[in-house]
């Protein structure tokens, strides 16, 4: 790429907490490979009062005052709650589907409702209004119909905090009783403790580690639980029953706006074989409701279950073609390359649609020409190979990739520098990439192959001022 002879050395400020030191190390390697002429700075004091050309930092460490200078690039949009807050995402999708009823996002989104609630006694009114469909499922089950399970999520919580499963009004009420703040009155405390104990039995609590305060987290979503997930065995040559997993897909959004999906996709497995949720007599009696079969978040597997996640808990979708399906109508068949390709296609389509929805949702998602961001999008595949969007994560926990697959994160960061950083500063320097540079970039990104960033959406958003 032609460069200006007068161009000063570029500076990249990379700040992450010590717990994410692996991100800094991975980025340092990516810069050494892709932008060797840049100065890599991992402490703000080393700037010597200068403003960096690029901030590649944890969101809380970003200096947003510098974003007013369009010559400075940062690795996060300022406003993106329309995507990353669970309740806002539900509203974003509902609004989009009301205007685009034939969008593929309709079949890729489980039935979801969002609402506000702080106390269990608010639920009576909510079940007659915002949660009417949930109440109807309770009534149908009571009248001999099929029991339907739902999953509750706190809109602003992460790492599985506040997640609960329920199938009845009583279970939902017990959940919110558990989430209510503790009383100062001793007698009330005793009554509340009894209610919480029963609630733990009924509501299948994950444990104290995941309790949240409903007074502080008023916003919630309830989502229809997908009880027929695609089941595979995470371990080679074993006789396990099928195990549930979800896909973690890294997505790069650039400027205003291009969106890329990174391949391969991660597959995060639960720590024990799957069985549909149920409250049998033993669970009702003992309060022990094993949710390890439903937890596909590796953070939960270690912090909540109190044991190390199995080394096989993370794989890649693209590396599982030879795995045998262990449930549903396709039991005994291999997953196969063709099905994986179809899942990949559906994921790309779903990602494109959800970003279109966010752009159309108003001020809750605002793109910037001098920003980019890596999101971690979670999706579930059912036993009919239908892809369902679960949530969109900002500042994704790259440690979930695991040490054996660290090369995926390294490759993602390298691709990000090629797609989001290099072109931005090439334009600022009034230079254009040569044909040789473009060919080299595409070869390294493996565009069109099995590995790399694949563009799924490109549009010009007027808000990208």
pLDDT band at 189 (very low <50, low <70, confident <90, very high): low
What confidence score (pLDDT) does residue 299 get?
Answer: 53
pLDDT digits (tens, 9 = 90+) for 230-263: 999 887 656 667 899 999 999 999 999 999 999 9
Question: Is 130 inside any structural domain?
Answer: yes
Question: Is 105 inside any structural domain?
Answer: no
pLDDT band at 399 (very low <50, low <70, confident <90, very high): confident
Q: Is the pLDDT of residue 302 over 80?
A: no
Query: What's the domain count of the chain?
Result: 3
Q: Is the pLDDT of residue 418 over 90?
A: yes
Residue that finishes a domain, picked among 189, 205, 224:
224
Question: Is 319 inside any structural domain?
Answer: yes
Do 207 and 248 belong together in one domain? no
Q: Is the pLDDT of residue 447 over 50?
A: no
Question: Is 102 inside any structural domain?
Answer: no
Residue that finishes a domain, picked among 191, 209, 224:
224
pLDDT digits (tens, 9 = 90+) for 53-88: 999 999 999 999 888 888 899 999 999 999 999 999
Do 413 and 269 belong together in one domain? yes
pLDDT band at 452 (very low <50, low <70, confident <90, very high): very high
Do 219 and 232 belong together in one domain? no
pLDDT band at 39 (very low <50, low <70, confident <90, very high): very high
Average pLDDT, the chain: 83
Cα separations (Å) of 463 from 257, 362, 368? Answer: 10, 10, 7
Do 115 and 47 belong together in one domain? no
Do 220 and 233 belong together in one domain? no
Do 260 and 333 belong together in one domain? yes
Q: Is the pLDDT of residue 433 over 70?
A: no
Percentage with pLDDT > 70 across the chain: 77
pLDDT band at 380 (very low <50, low <70, confident <90, very high): very high
Domain coverage including residue 60: 11-74
Question: Is 45 inside any structural domain?
Answer: yes
Question: Is 97 inside any structural domain?
Answer: no
Global pTM? 0.86
Do 444 and 356 belong together in one domain? yes
Do 220 and 298 belong together in one domain? no
Do 318 and 421 belong together in one domain? yes
What confidence score (pLDDT) does residue 159 get?
Answer: 64
Residue that finishes a domain, picked among 159, 194, 224:
224
Segment 216-221 shows an average pLDDT of 81
Q: Is the pLDDT of residue 197 over 70?
A: no
Do 368 and 298 belong together in one domain? yes
Q: Is the pLDDT of residue 187 over 60?
A: no
Do 414 and 276 belong together in one domain? yes
What confidence score (pLDDT) does residue 25 get?
Answer: 95
pLDDT digits (tens, 9 = 90+) for 15-26: 999 999 999 999
Question: Is 103 inside any structural domain?
Answer: no
Do 381 and 236 belong together in one domain? yes
pLDDT digits (tens, 9 = 90+) for 139-158: 999 998 989 999 998 887 76
What confidence score (pLDDT) does residue 221 get?
Answer: 93
Q: Is the pLDDT of residue 456 over 80?
A: yes
pLDDT band at 123 (very low <50, low <70, confident <90, very high): very high
What confidence score (pLDDT) does residue 191 get?
Answer: 53
Q: Is the pLDDT of residue 112 over 60?
A: yes
What confidence score (pLDDT) does residue 40 get?
Answer: 96
Question: Is 362 inside any structural domain?
Answer: yes
């Amino acid at each position: 790429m032609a460069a200006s002879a007068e161009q000063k050395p570029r500076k990249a400020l990379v700040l992450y907490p010590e717990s994410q030191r692996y991100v800094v190390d991975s980025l340092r390697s990516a810069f050494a490979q892709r932008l060797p002429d840049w100065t890599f700075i991992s402490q703000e004091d080393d700037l010597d009062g200068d403003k960096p050309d690029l901030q590649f930092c944890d969101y809380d460490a970003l200096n947003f005052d510098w974003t007013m200078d369009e010559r400075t690039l940062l690795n996060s949009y300022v406003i993106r709650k329309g995507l990353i807050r669970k309740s806002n995402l539900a509203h974003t999708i509902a609004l989009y589907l009301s205007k685009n009823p034939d969008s593929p996002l309709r079949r890729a989104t489980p039935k979801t409702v969002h609402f506000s609630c702080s106390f269990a006694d608010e639920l009576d009114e909510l079940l007659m209004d915002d949660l009417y469909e949930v109440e109807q499922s309770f009534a149908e089950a009571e009248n001999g119909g099929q029991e339907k399970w739902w999953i509750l999520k706190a809109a602003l919580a992460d790492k599985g905090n506040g997640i609960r499963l329920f199938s009845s009004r009583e279970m939902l009420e017990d959940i919110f009783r558990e989430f209510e703040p503790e009383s100062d009155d001793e007698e009330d405390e005793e009554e509340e403790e009894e209610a919480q104990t029963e609630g733990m039995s009924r509501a299948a609590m994950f444990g104290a580690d995941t309790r949240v305060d409903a007074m502080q987290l008023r916003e919630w979503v309830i989502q229809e639980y997908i009880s027929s997930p695609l089941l595979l065995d995470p371990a080679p040559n074993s006789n396990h029953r099928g195990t549930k997993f979800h896909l973690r897909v890294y997505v790069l959004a650039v400027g205003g706006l291009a969106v890329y999906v990174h391949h391969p996709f991660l597959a995060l497995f639960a720590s024990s074989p799957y069985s549909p949720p149920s409250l049998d007599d033993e669970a009702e009696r003992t309060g022990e409701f094993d949710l390890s079969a439903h937890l596909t978040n590796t953070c939960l597997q270690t912090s909540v279950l109190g044991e190390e996640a199995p080394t096989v808990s993370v794989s890649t979708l693209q590396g599982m073609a030879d795995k045998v399906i262990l449930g549903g109508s396709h039991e005994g068949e291999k997953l196969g390359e063709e099905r994986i390709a179809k899942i990949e296609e559906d994921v790309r389509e779903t990602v494109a649609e959800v970003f279109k929805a966010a752009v159309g949702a108003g001020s809750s998602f605002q793109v910037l020409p001098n920003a980019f961001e890596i999101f971690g999008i979670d999706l579930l595949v059912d036993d009919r190979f239908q892809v369902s969007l679960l949530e969109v994560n900002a500042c994704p926990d790259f440690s979930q990739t695991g040490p054996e697959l660290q090369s995926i994160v390294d490759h993602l960061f390298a691709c990000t520098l090629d797609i989001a950083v290099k072109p931005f500063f090439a334009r600022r320097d009034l230079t254009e990439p040569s044909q040789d540079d473009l060919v080299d970039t595409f070869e390294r990104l493996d565009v069109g192959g099995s590995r790399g960033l694949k563009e799924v959406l490109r549009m010009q958003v007027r808000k990208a001022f």
